[in-house]
Amino acid sequence: MEIQAFAKLNLTLDVLGKRPDGYHDLRMVMQSITLCDTLTLTPNQGQGLRVSTDLHFLPTGEKNLAAIAARRFWEALGCPAEDLDICIRKRIPVCAGMAGGSTDAAAVLRALNQRAGSPLTPAELARVGEQVGSDVPYCVLGGTALAEGRGERLTPLPALPRCWVVVCKPEFAISTPELFARIDSVRLRCRPDTDGLLSALEEGDLGGAARRMYNVFEDVLPPRQRDRVGELKNALIQAGALGANMSGTGPTAFGLFDCPEAAEEARAVLAENCRDIFLCQTV
Ligand code: C5P
């Protein structure tokens, strides 16, 4: 089986507080985009569960989230593990705030469930995903959604109106646990207007949604990294984006455009000072 695993962007990200279990309560509007990894699942003859990728520094075998997802799926069904090769062609930048590892895991869950004749409902499959990572339940469902709690409480939302997305991944990576630790030690000065963004989605108002995008993690980035993300966001707005935001714990910045020509022009301008740049659409 060959399957696509779509990247996600945060239209908003708010951290409401730290929980006794060490995780944080979040409130965020998520959106999947056409930027994707491609996974190939092939049964093998007695070689066990194997994972390989085209990026040499990523974990292979049982340490990869895709393998953990496969194990959890078979456990949930109460069936023995299969001999399976999972081969991942990475296109989504790594440690970039776009749920690259989580979406690969979610794609494995969807593919195995489909191949088994869909014994689990999407909600049950999302619950299996919760054991793999906080973003996996959302990645199982995809589309436009509000994610709350650890990220596992999902409410599907009206789709973001048709638009084009320019995604820029700066040259550094961010450690998610480190940024969560930083956010505990600061008082947040600014919060996203999540309810306003939800109303804009209800009304099909792309400009209203784009203007309300905000991510609290941008404020706790180390200064040089915050400056770089700010510079990319400004460049996107200068190039005609209706709004720009950072995704997840960063550092990816993106802008929303209501016309493909403006988006392509912005991509070309930003490509001059950002190597990892993509023009995509929402899914
Ligand atoms: O669930 P996942 O393993 O993807 O989370 C990675 C890290 O992100 C956690 O170890 C934790 O530090 C942080 N996290 C959090 N609260 C969440 C989600 C993630 O503190 N809701």
Distance CA 70, CA 111 (A): 10
pLDDT value for 253:
98
pLDDT value for 187:
87
pLDDT value for 61:
87
Using CA positions, which residue lies closest to atom 4 of ligand 1? Answer: 133
CA 91 from centre of chain: 13
Is the distance from the beta carbon of residue 17 to the nearest atom of ligand 1 less than 6 Å? Answer: no
Using CA positions, which residue lies closest to atom 21 of ligand 1? Answer: 150
**Mind listing the pLDDT tens digit of every residue in the chain (283 residues)?**
999 999 999 999 999 999 999 999 999 999 999 999 999 999 999 999 999 999 999 999 889 999 999 999 999 999 999 999 999 999 999 999 999 999 999 999 999 999 999 999 999 999 999 999 999 999 999 999 999 999 999 999 999 999 999 999 999 988 899 999 999 998 888 999 999 999 999 999 999 999 999 999 999 999 999 999 999 999 999 999 999 999 999 999 999 999 999 999 999 999 998 999 999 999 9
CA of 136, closest atom in ligand 1: 4
CA of 24, closest atom in ligand 1: 16
Distance CA 126, CA 129 (A): 5
Structure letter (DSSP) for residue 216: G
| Residue 53, strand partner residues | 88
**Polymer length of the chain:** 283
Is the distance from the beta carbon of residue 91 to the nearest atom of ligand 1 less than 6 Å? Answer: no
Distance CA 67, CA 54 (A): 16
Is the distance from the beta carbon of residue 151 to the nearest atom of ligand 1 less than 6 Å? Answer: yes
- Catalogue the active-site residues: 8, 135
- Residue type at 136 in one-letter notation: V
- What is the 130 CA–ligand 1 centroid distance (Å)? 11
CA of 150, closest atom in ligand 1: 21
3-state SS assignment for residue 8: strand
Distance CA 39, CA 43 (A): 13
Rounded to two decimals, the pTM is 0.96
Pocket of ligand 1, candidates 174, 176, 183, 249: which has the most ligand atoms within 8 Å of its Cβ, to mutate? Answer: 176
Is the distance from the beta carbon of residue 34 to the nearest atom of ligand 1 less than 6 Å? Answer: no
CB-CB contact of 202 with 158 (8 Å): yes
pLDDT value for 189:
85
Pocket of ligand 1, candidates 16, 131, 134: which has the most ligand atoms within 8 Å of its Cβ, to mutate? Answer: 134
Is the distance from the beta carbon of residue 150 to the nearest atom of ligand 1 less than 6 Å? Answer: yes
Residue 17: how many CB atoms within 10 A of its CB?
A: 8
CB-CB contact of 212 with 200 (8 Å): yes
